[in-house]
A and B are shown apart, each in its own frame.
Chain A
Amino acid sequence: MISIVRDLLKYDGRFRLAVIFLGGVAAMILLSYNSPYDPGKSFVVPWDLPPSQQYIFGTTSRGQDLFWWLTFAVRNSLFLGVLTAIISRVIAILVGLTAGYRGGWLDRVLMSLNDTFVVLPLLPILILLGFLLRERMSLFYLAVILGLFGWPFDARLIRSQVLSLKERSFTRTAIYSGSSGFWITIHEHLPFVLPIVFATTINNILWSIGMEVTLSILGLSDLTTPTLGTALFWANQHGALVAGIWWWIAAPALVTIVLFLGLYLFFTSINEFIDPRTRLRLIGG
């Protein structure tokens, strides 16, 4: 494991960059536990100050130190992303394994439903949900809702993997030796499916954090919790750009970009490392 990381660090520039970016994000998250300010309080520092040595990212019109406020925002956004990913992974694995293993009409029904959810325009539906929940919306609810909608692409992927595994001889041996379908699915297929699950997890985290940003902009998430999205919402509410407080927009945008690029580069680099085809192509097999 350590040698893999060392090799990746040595030979993959993307991985190095990802480690730097994610390291910065991790540092921010750790710092949030030592924040001198409570993110829920306003007017704790002078307002509308541009970035300076004392306030690295400047201060907001609500009298908050943007840097410290954003340490909480990153932490919460990442929490939302991970929680969503866990929920949607569970559904994706269940649907994918069941459809792939059972096949027949159940497979057809599940996949038809699956494709329906892939195609449906999600944002309007989420807007409707957010609109109805309004003040009751919390980060946890949002993660559950996004988790309930974030599985179809990956379920299909897992299903196709199971279908190809089913053709292999060990499954047949397991069937002939009298194992139950469920046992086969869990013990024989899950280990092969997990790498895909890992690869899709990061994508799903990115997707859900992005969705939270989008819903916050529309004023439809939990606006009292600091997240990358609510940072932008409050900046817009106070007309930050019109008032010339550009750092209020720029700082959360920058942090978001660093977080997303870090996760994305990490994902592509690892994915390429795992993918047997890339390796084969590289060694000319």
Chain B
Amino acid sequence: MKYTSQAVAKPYFIFALTLLAGEILFGLLMGIQYIYGDFLFPLIPFNVLRMVHTNLLIVLLLNGFMGATYYLIPEETQRELWNPKLAIITFWIFLAAGVATILGYLFVPYATLTEITFNELLPTMGREFLEQPLPTKVGIVIVALSYIFNVGMTVLKGRKTVITTVLLTGLLGLAVFFLFAFYVPDNLVADKFFWWFTVHLWVEATWELILGAILAFVLIKTTGVDREHIDKWLYLIIAMTMLSGILGTGHHFFYMGAPEYWLWIGSLSSAVEPLPFFLMILFAYTMARERKIQHENEIALTWAKGTAVMGFLGAGVWGFMHTLAPVNMYTHGTQLTAAHGHLSFYGAYVMIVFTVISYAMPILRGRPHGNSKKAQKVELTSFWMLNIGMVGLTLALTVAGITQIMDQRVGTDLVSFMESQASMTGIYTIRLGFGLLVFAGLMTYVYSFFVEEEAK
């Protein structure tokens, strides 16, 4: 660790992994509910589990991004973080707000939650992924602002690199687009527009900048390739991401009351969206091939390459499958969407968090050359468990989605939702099995950090 203030990243990483464990656990509970409909009834209904599952994902990724930023910004700017204490204070605020919100979801009926959290002052609750009560939303804004201020001040005073510029642009976008979460128009179509301005422009524009910056950082560190070379790739990827991603918002405006031209804008621009992800694969593999150093932390580079591949599969391939308007007319809101959602969030974002943790955590724990060979072997096992688990889960959901489409959307001889779902118990059981593998993979990953150092 070159700068002592990089240590603030540690609690963020630990909390991110803890939240991931929670997210997977709640996912597994839902997986059981898909097979036994009355499981946990009436204690925790499906909608609450789903809300906890998705909200945990968002909070864990934000935590991971913040941890990654606090780790890489001092090294990039070549100076200590502007205010490490502030970073720790915001960590605890974020943790407290996050835990309180999740407990609120679990133990207070949502309607009551809206009443006791002043939703009537500024109604913002009830929208998918943005279910957070008003105080939590305000808390997110405060944490985000203080975090960007802290990082911004460090960047202003220190060395400016392409990575810091891209990262900061992504972070600013993240904060700005979240503000749309506070505006809920009465008109349902307008409401959807503003909702996507947060949700889509987060995951398919600004977060991709953050992902690109973190990936570039880890690649520089683990391959020793010249910064100029990496910067060029980063610019190319970012330019394409922004162009396709921003107009790609249109693929959410199909058949919802928005004008027809969105079918064309959305289909065409989102057809381009997989390309930056494909470039990311070329990027990671070219850098690995042209590497100038043999970093002892080999597993970090494996994660970096894995992120590029899985991001392309999940966001690129599984996204393209149903992004064209004529296809989406049949697939919209089926398990195919869930398949895409799972693999893209995992492949692009959860994996970049794993990547940065695998690179930074050993250094933060006083092992500058990475964990021991034995520990890396265990971690590699967890890498495959997690990836095979996620791909298996995604394939199962894809089969479920196609079954659902054939049962309920194609032709005239249609079956009811419940009947169609009941026929898929076998597929859902397979999905649950792969889900368990993912959880076991995460546990193995965590365990790898506690494998004893080999005696030298």
A and B form one complex: no
Query: What is the interface of chain A, defined by CB distance below 8 A to chain B?
Result: none
